[in-house]
Amino acid sequence: MIEVYMKKAIDIANRGSGFVNPDPLVGAILVKNEKIVGQGWYKFFGSERAEVMAIKSAGEDTRDSELFINIEPEIDEKYDEYISFILNSGIKRIYIGIPNPRVGRGGKAEEVFKPLGIEIEYGVLKNECEELNEIYTHYINTGTPFVFTKWAMTLDGKLASRTGDSKWISSEKSLEFVHHLRQRVAAIMVGENTVRLDNPLLTTRLEGVVISNPLRVIVSKYGDIPLNSNILKVDANTRTLIIASEKIAIEKEVELKNYGVDIIKLRERQGKIQFEDIVKALGERNIDSLYIEGGSSLLASAFESRVVNKVYAAIAPKIIGGKDAITPVGGVGIEKMNDAIRLSRVTHQIIGDDVIFKGYI
């Protein structure tokens, strides 16, 4: 049952997706006499701790209960009020999915609580808990966003037809999967060509959940974006950031800012904006995660810069054909197979008619 309770903590932690960045997703389950008596999750950045919420929600005597939490709480001897609250609850044991991944912070719960009579056990559903907070772990230790890509392609490896038509390669259920990815991240990115061809909204559209729209990031060296583009429609729930060159015309910069968008100007190196500079600039803005949705030239630049951490690829049972049809990753490409970027920890799942592969770099 230990793993069952931790799985519930993971599930409830996901309710904070899109709202807690750049903090971790945290879920807590309180169990007494093999019965769940309380639960809590970290709801939004700066909100009440998940474990405190779980204890408060129990509504009965919590003495001799057990707490399940997916990630070790931030704690040390300075947290007197928090430590007293945990002690006064009478919890006898705390199961923790993973230690605090912040450098030098792992194991603090055991250091603090074990001498006070509370048993601590780490490593329950370790792999699942690590993946849940891979964004947080990466960001706090590098200062740059965790970057992942996702594309949908046909069986013959095409992203779109030779005319650029790509609506829709994926099944409806696979498209819903995309919106769950958008809900999870702080920012979503496309290039200016995708804006011109597809005029995307880049918003999250899901039923039955509170929506969190990621920051829309557009890479456009000189701001050459049609003024009727959906991404220029900015309000309290949809924000847009344009990554441009320092050489962008002042008139174009003013014009775009009049639409309510923000602009980061970066120095060109070797005639283009480098992805290393982009992720550094986003990290400085507390953007902990970046989902690159395309197109092929932008994806090529990201892979060439070695900034991608995770890849999703949806393969649809369709064939386009044609040597001029667009492939997911453009650019020059490699010369020898030994130079190919290799993925590790590869898994797959079937969603609708599509097969979605997931792997890490």
State the pLDDT at residue 77: 62
For tokens 């650029």, name the residue: 164
Chain-centre distance of CA 326, in angstroms? Answer: 27
Which residue spans of the chain are classified as CATH 3.40.430.10?
144-360
Name, of 10-14, 164-168, 318-322, the range with top average pLDDT.
Answer: 10-14
State the pLDDT at residue 78: 67
State the pLDDT at residue 76: 66
Mean pLDDT value across residues 291-304: 90
Please determine, for residue 166, whether its predicted confidence score (pLDDT) is greater than 90: no
Structure confidence by residue, pLDDT tens digits, 42-83: 999 989 999 999 999 998 789 999 999 999 998 866 678 899
Q: Which of 137-151, 197-211, 252-266 has the lowest mean pLDDT?
A: 197-211
Which residue spans of the chain are classified as CATH 3.40.140.10?
2-134
Under the banding of pLDDT at 50, 70 and 90, the label for residue 178 is: confident
The number of CA neighbours under 13 Å toward the Cβ of 222 is 4
Beta carbons within 8 Å of 250's beta carbon, 6+ residues apart: none
At 266, which helix (H) or strand (E)? Answer: strand 262-266
More confident residue, 272 or 291: 291
Please determine, for residue 236, whether its predicted confidence score (pLDDT) is greater than 80: no
Q: Which of 60-64, 223-227, 283-287 has the lowest mean pLDDT?
A: 60-64
Distance CA 289, CA 152 (A): 20
DSSP 8-state assignment for residue 231: G
State the pLDDT at residue 197: 86
**DSSP bridge pairs for 41:** 27
Structure confidence by residue, pLDDT tens digits, 198-221: 899 999 988 887 888 999 999 999
More confident residue, 28 or 79: 28
Please determine, for residue 99, whether its predicted confidence score (pLDDT) is greater than 90: yes
Mean residue pLDDT across the chain: 92
Rounded to 5°, angle at Cα 253 from 250 and 255: 110
Annotated binding-site ranges: 152, 166, 168, 182, 194, 198, 202, 205, 293, 295-301
Mean pLDDT value across residues 216-235: 94
What is the CATH T-level fold of the domain 2-134, as seen in this structure? Cytidine Deaminase; domain 2 (3.40.140)
Under the banding of pLDDT at 50, 70 and 90, the label for residue 142 is: very high
Annotated binding-site ranges for NADP(+): 152, 168, 194, 198, 295-301
Under the banding of pLDDT at 50, 70 and 90, the label for residue 39 is: very high
Please determine, for residue 292, whether its predicted confidence score (pLDDT) is greater than 90: yes
Residue percentage of the chain with pLDDT more than 70: 99
Residue percentage of the chain with pLDDT more than 90: 72
Q: Among all residues, which ones are annotated catalytic?
A: 51
Beta carbons within 8 Å of 251's beta carbon, 6+ residues apart: none
**Other C-beta atoms lying within 10 Å of the C-beta of residue 74:** 16
Enter the CATH code of domain 144-360: 3.40.430.10
Q: Cα–Cα distances in Å, from 344 out to 178, 311, 333?
A: 22, 10, 20
At 198, which helix (H) or strand (E)? Answer: helix 192-198
Mean pLDDT value across residues 264-286: 95
Please determine, for residue 330, whether its predicted confidence score (pLDDT) is greater than 90: no
